[in-house]
Copies of this chain bind each other. A is one copy, B any other.
Amino acid sequence: MHFGRHISGQFNVELESIRTHVLTMGGLVEQQLSFAMQALHRDDVELAKKVIRDDHKVNAMEVSIDEACTRIIAKRQPTAKDLRLIMAIIKTITDLERIGDVASKIAQGAIEAPSAKDQKFHVSLEPLCRQAITMLHQVLDAFARMDVDAAAEVHKLDDKLDAEYEAVIRQLMTYMMEEPKNIPIILQVMWSARAIERVGDRCQNICEYIIYFVKGKDVRHLGEQSLDDALK
């Protein structure tokens, strides 16, 4: 894939290498989220611990990609589209790192509330978490191909995730009212639900960086309609 034909071969190799690292980081984050969900639903404390243990790998990738971006700016003095790619990457990895934190948070929930009774509450998170993982998978795919249309599609998926989140919270709230003694446990599950819902927002951010890179337009803070207009 060539981003701008004017750039030198070596520069191109370096940019490609950074892009590959971002995709590797994204794959790791997706795996972390997927393992965290499995840990929650299979009551697997060992897997949950592994997720928490591996979070430092995600963090380390963020720091090293950030360094590589700063280095390439200083050394190669990129402009125009090359610079936009680097800016998009710097922002993308921040969101990926935070999604990694969400995985740890879910895993922590699996460790703190591993009893069979709690499973009933955890079950409600499954479709939500699955949707978030799908959204992340698709946005990484859009990033790999720098596909604006795919990014715009993923952006729209967040409404579905929000609706699912609202349903989960309402369901958990009825559990709370039925048995107030379960409130502390259910609150933990609600925090996890909230964190998963935020994954959707972070995926939307990444969609916006993809659009920024390809179209050169900053579409943050616009509504869906204005976003569609910007892509025409």
Bound Cα distance A205, B29 (Å)? 21
Closest B residue to A67 by CB, please name it: B218
> In the complex, are the beta carbons of A83 and B90 less than 8 A apart?
no
Q: How many interface residues does A have (CB within 8 Å)?
A: 35
Cα distance A94–B221 in the bound complex, in angstroms? 12
Assess whether B177 is in contact with A180, with CB atoms less than 8 Å apart: yes
Q: How far is the CB of A21 from chain B (nearest CB, A)?
A: 16
How many copies of this chain are found per oligomer? 2
Per-residue contact bits, chain A 173-189, to B (CB 8 Å; 1 contact, 0 not): 10011001101100100
Chain A at the B interface: mostly helix, strand, loop or mixed? helix
Chain B residues lying within 8 Å of A183, measured Cβ to Cβ, are 173, 176-177, 183
Give bound CA distance, A59 to B66, whole Å. 24
Complex interface bits, A128-157 against B, C-beta within 8 A gives 1, otherwise 0: 000000000000000000000000000000
Q: How far is the CA of A78 from the CA of B183 in the complex (A)?
A: 54
Q: How far is the CA of A206 from the CA of B181 in the complex (A)?
A: 39
Interface stretch of the complex, out of A12-20, A43-51, A69-77: A69-77
What are 7 contact pairs spanning A and B, CB under 8 A?
A: A62-B220, A62-B221, A63-B220, A70-B87, A90-B90, A173-B183, A177-B180
